[in-house]
Amino acid sequence: MKSRGEIEAAICKGINRFEQEYMGRGPKHIHTYLIDDLLCVRLQGVLTAAEKHLAESSPAEKGRDLLKQVRTQLIETARPVLEAVVHEATGVNVVSLHHDISVVTGEEVLVFSLTECPVVREIGRK
């Protein structure tokens, strides 16, 4: 049985590996938060140089929309891989996956709804 921190660390490691293999580079920072049957992953610094240029292109709104559409499609296509990362770390199945990215800040958020709360080992407090 894993502690909450061990589960969160395993998710960070798995998502980081996914980002490197599927997106071509990993995020600058990644944090995972397990809250009951909800798993939130916050990735910062995920945009490539080409994506930043696209987001800033003229008209900027068109570039931003295109970038968000592409990133969303990539996440949907890779959903089985992401669900496997979550299942391996938590032992629980994913019900739904929600995704958004800010093309202004380069921050991406993944939210996984789980079938149940993962069983975690409580760490004794001193």
- pLDDT for 76 equals 94
Residue 43 and residue 19 in contact, taking contact as beta carbons nearer than 8 Å: yes
pLDDT, averaged in runs of 10, over the chain (126 residues): 94 95 91 97 93 80 88 94 97 97 93 96 70
Residue 110 and residue 44 in contact, taking contact as beta carbons nearer than 8 Å: no
In this structure, what token pair is assigned to residue 125?
A: 């407090």
Sheet containing 94-102: give its strands across: 29-35, 38-44, 107-114, 94-102
* Residue whose token pair is 């929309």: 65
CATH assignment of 4-114, among 3.40.50, 3.30.519, 3.30.980, 2.60.120: 3.30.980
- pLDDT for 46 equals 92
- pLDDT for 7 equals 96
- pLDDT for 125 equals 59
Domain coordinates in residue numbering, the chain: 4-114
